[in-house]
Amino acid sequence: MRIFSGIQPTGRKHLGNYLGAIRQYVAGQDRGESIYCIVDLHAITVPYEPSELSRTVLDTTAVLMAAGLDPQRCILFRQSDVKEHTELCWLLTSVTAYGELGRMHQFKEKSAQQRDFISAGLFTYPILQAADILAYQTDEVPVGEDQKQHLELARDIAQRFNARYGLTFTVPQHRIPEVAARVMDLQAPEKKMSTTGGTELGTVLVLDEPNEIRRKFTTAVTDSGRDIVRREDKPGISNLIEILAAARGIGPEEVEKEYSDAPGYAGFKRDVGEAVVGLLAPVRERYVQIRSDEETLEETLARGAERARRIASETLKQGRQRMGIGSGPSRAVPSS
């Protein structure tokens, strides 16, 4: 089995990123051939600081390695170092409908935030994402719930290309965690946790200090009543139940049972905070050590890119041949 996923280049990874994606990346190393990409080309579709991008790529690489990614057991690389992604993206635009891109939730959300200038890159973002995945003949993509729509489009693109030009791409499946697939903002539990659109106090960062994590959970918004159960009318408590279950590696039902006689929410919120502190502390400690060695981080990404390119170039070659693009055995120009 081949597993692939990409992650945005920012060291400010939050608890939702960690539970929904990063922990799945680490587990994937034991389940198959794992390929993980720092998607710096995706990052330039929205306003950013060029001088900061190379730094944040290394920040993200260090976070992933601190969380447990081992470059000896997986392929870890920077997206822009493998040019096959962008060429394959252009080929895939021919089998992607304009209307499909316009229906993407992420495009609608981000374009609403950037009314002064909406880049074409933001609109075609999902095609590049599909190219990222399909370049590696990916069987499985570990994602959070919020990326499910993009993966469905990648599947549609692969199936359409295969139907039009012949079997070329593996049609990938998603892998969404059963618990905490969508972690919500602690101050606004109707919105997903986010470093860009979320609240500062409601966003728990992987690299937050323990006392900061505790503070964010003790001030988390809850709901009326005292019942610690998952219900639609209790989004705050439901979110905390999911987080605690994920942090402890148990089912949400077990959390509900444990706290069925709790006198209120204060003790429960403290317990969730402590569980998250224990979960993230080792990652933060390893990050400090790993991030200080920038030369090794760059070497890791370069070696990963070489390995990734060997796979992606074969896929691109096959795609070009299927589409009749460029020279080939039957299209070579005769020598004079």
Give the percent of the chain with pLDDT over 90: 78
Q: Which of 15, 24, 26, 29 has its CA nearest to residue 143?
A: 24
Tokens linked to 51:
């001088």
pLDDT per residue as tens digits for the range 130-143: 999 999 999 999 98
User: Which pLDDT does position 154 carry in this prediction?
Assistant: 96
**Tokens 């998952």, residue?**
230
49 is written with which tokens? 């600081």
Residue 251's CB: how many other CB atoms inside 10 A?
A: 12
3 state DSSP class of 210: helix
Which residue type is seen at 235? P
List all residues 6 or more positions away from 44 whose beta carbon is below 8 Å from its beta carbon.
53, 121
194-211 pLDDT, tens digit per residue, is 887 789 999 999 999 999
Residues 132 and 312: beta-carbon distance below 8 Å: no
Q: Tell me, letter by letter, the H, E, C secondary structure of 217-270.
A: HHCCCCCCCCCCCCCCCCHHHHHHHHHHHHHHCCCHHHHHHHCCCCCCCHHHHH
The residues, any chain, with a CB within 8 Å of residue 161's CB and separated by 6 or more, are 92, 95, 168, 169, 319, 322
The pLDDT assigned to 329 comes to 54
Average model confidence (pLDDT) for the chain? Answer: 92
Residue-wise pLDDT tens digits, 88-121: 999 999 999 999 998 888 788 777 777 778 889 8
CA dihedral (145, 106, 93, 328) positive or negative: negative
Q: Which of 159, 185, 168 is nearest to 325 (CA)?
A: 168
pLDDT tens for 207-264 read 999 999 999 999 999 988 889 999 999 999 999 999 999 999 999 999 999 999 998 8
DSSP state of 214: H
Residue 6 has which token pair? 């990409």
**CA separation for the pair 125, 173 (Å, rounded):** 19
Whole-angstrom distance, CA of residue 185 vs CA of residue 191: 6
For residue 311 the two structure tokens come to: 């796979």
Task: Answer whether residue 285 shows pLDDT above 90.
Answer: yes
Please list the residues that pair with 5 across neighbouring strands: 36
- Residue 109 corresponds to which amino acid? E
* All residues at 6 or more sequence positions from 62 whose CB lies less than 8 Å from its CB, including other chains: 11, 287, 290, 291, 297
Q: Sheet holding 2-7: strands in order across?
A: 74-78, 33-38, 2-7, 140-142, 173-175
8 A C-beta contact, residue 217 and residue 39: no
Can you list the domains of the chain with their CATH numbers? 2-180+294-323 (3.40.50.620), 210-289 (1.10.240.10)
Is 12's pLDDT higher than 90? no
Query: In this structure, what DSSP letter does residue 185 have?
Result: P
- The type of residue at 101 is L
As a whole number of angstroms, the distance between CA 124 and CA 110 comes to 13
